[in-house]
Amino acid sequence: MPDQSLNTSVKEKIYRVFWKTVDFLYPPECVTCSKPGSVWCSDCQAQAVVIGSNCCPICGYPTLNGQLCERCRQVHPPFTQARSWAQYEGGVKEALHSLKYKSNLELGILLANHLCEVLARTQWTFDLILPMPISKKHQAARGYNQSEVIARPLSYLLQIPIETKAVYRVKETETQVKLNREERFKNLQSAFLGNSAKLVNKKVLLVDDTATTGATLESCAQVLQNAGCCEVYCLTVARTIKYLQ
Ligand SMILES: [Zn+2]
Ligand SMILES: [Zn+2]
C-alpha cells in the first residue's frame, strides 16, 4: 500500500513552494485596492460583510435573531444545512470575479481560510469535500474549476479528502430565465450526475464560490442524496442577499 498521507504532504509542499515562487516572480497586489504585497490585503478582507450566526439554521440565509427563514419554514431544502461566509458584494464580489475569470488562483487559499472560520461555528462532520462541478466545456475554456481552487486548500487545512469524481456536471443550463423555480430545479437536477459508488452512506461537504438563488446548490444536493449520501452540507464563500427576513 502506498503511503497516502506522505503522498499528500509532498503534494502540498510542492503546492506551497509553487506559490512562493509565483509571489517572488510576480509580486501580488490586492484585488480590491491594488496595494502591493498580497492578492487580497487584510484591510480589504476585513471589509467583507460577514454573515455570522444570525442566519436561518437550515439554509444560512441572514435572518433577524437567527430564526428559520420563510422558505425553510415551508419546506426543508434537499441538504442538511448550508452556510456562506459573506455577502456577495463589494470586495468579496471582486475577489470571486478575479478567481473565476482572471485565474487569480492564489485567492483560493485565503477564501479557504474564511470557510474554516464558518465551519468552526458549525457542528458538521463529513467524510468528503466535493467542489461544485462545472461542465467539461467550461473547465476546458477556463482551465480550472474555481470551486476546486477553494476546496483543495480547504481539504488540506481540514485534512479531509477532496473528491472530484463523485459528481459531474453533464449539461449546461445557462438560460433559465423563462422557467419558474420548480422547472428550473428539475432542469438543473438533470445537469448533474452522481457516482453512487463514491457517495453511498457518505457525509459530504459541497463547496461552491457563490450562491445566487441557491437553485444550483439545491439541485446538486438532491442528486447527491439520490446517489446515497446520508448528509449533504453546503458551504459557499458568498451569497446574494436581497433582503433581510
Ligand atoms: Zn486591499
Ligand atoms: Zn432557510
Residue-wise pLDDT for 153-207, tens only, equals 999 999 999 999 999 999 876 655 677 777 777 777 789 999 999 999 999 999 9
Residue 158 lies in a domain: yes
- The pLDDT value recorded for residue 1 is 45
pTM, to two decimals: 0.88
Q: Is 39's pLDDT higher than 60?
A: yes
Residue 230 lies in a domain: yes
Residue-wise pLDDT for 82-121, tens only, equals 999 999 999 999 999 999 999 888 899 999 999 999 999 9
Residue 37 lies in a domain: no
Are residues 48 and 92 in contact, defined by beta-carbon separation less than 8 angstroms? yes
Taking the CA of 81 as reference, the closest ligand is 2
The percent of residues in the chain predicted with pLDDT above 70, rounded, is 93
Centre of ligand 2 from the C-alpha of residue 239, in Å: 13
Centre of ligand 2 from the C-alpha of residue 40, in Å: 31
Centre of ligand 2 from the C-alpha of residue 208, in Å: 18
Q: What mean pLDDT is predicted for residues 197-225?
A: 95
Residue 245 lies in a domain: no
Separation of alpha carbons 69 and 43, rounded Å: 32
- The pLDDT value recorded for residue 24 is 73
Taking the CA of 47 as reference, the closest ligand is 1
The percent of residues in the chain predicted with pLDDT above 90, rounded, is 72
Residue 15 lies in a domain: no
Taking the CA of 41 as reference, the closest ligand is 1
Coil, strand or helix: which one is 150? helix
Taking the CA of 36 as reference, the closest ligand is 1
Residue 21 lies in a domain: no
- The pLDDT value recorded for residue 6 is 56
* CA neighbor of 12 nearest in space, from 148, 155, 132: 155
Taking the CA of 91 as reference, the closest ligand is 1
Taking the CA of 82 as reference, the closest ligand is 2
Residue 222 lies in a domain: yes
Are residues 55 and 83 in contact, defined by beta-carbon separation less than 8 angstroms? yes
DSSP string, 215-235: HHHHHHHHHHHHTT-SEEEEE
Print the domain residue range for 171.
50-239
* CA neighbor of 209 nearest in space, from 160, 159, 142: 142
Domain at 65, CATH number: 3.40.50.2020
- The pLDDT value recorded for residue 244 is 66
Centre of ligand 2 from the C-alpha of residue 142, in Å: 33
Number of structural domains (the chain) is: 1
Q: What mean pLDDT is predicted for residues 2-9?
A: 59
Centre of ligand 2 from the C-alpha of residue 59, in Å: 4
Centre of ligand 1 from the C-alpha of residue 39, in Å: 8
Centre of ligand 2 from the C-alpha of residue 27, in Å: 42
- The pLDDT value recorded for residue 212 is 87
How would residue 73 be classed by pLDDT, with cut points 50, 70 and 90? very high
Q: What mean pLDDT is predicted for residues 21-34?
A: 84
Q: Is 4's pLDDT higher than 70?
A: no
Centre of ligand 1 from the C-alpha of residue 49, in Å: 15
- The pLDDT value recorded for residue 2 is 47
Rounded to the nearest integer, the mean pLDDT of the chain is 90
Q: Is 7's pLDDT higher than 90?
A: no
Residue 5 lies in a domain: no
Residue 1 is placed in which grid cell?
500500500
Taking the CA of 218 as reference, the closest ligand is 2
Coil, strand or helix: which one is 193? strand
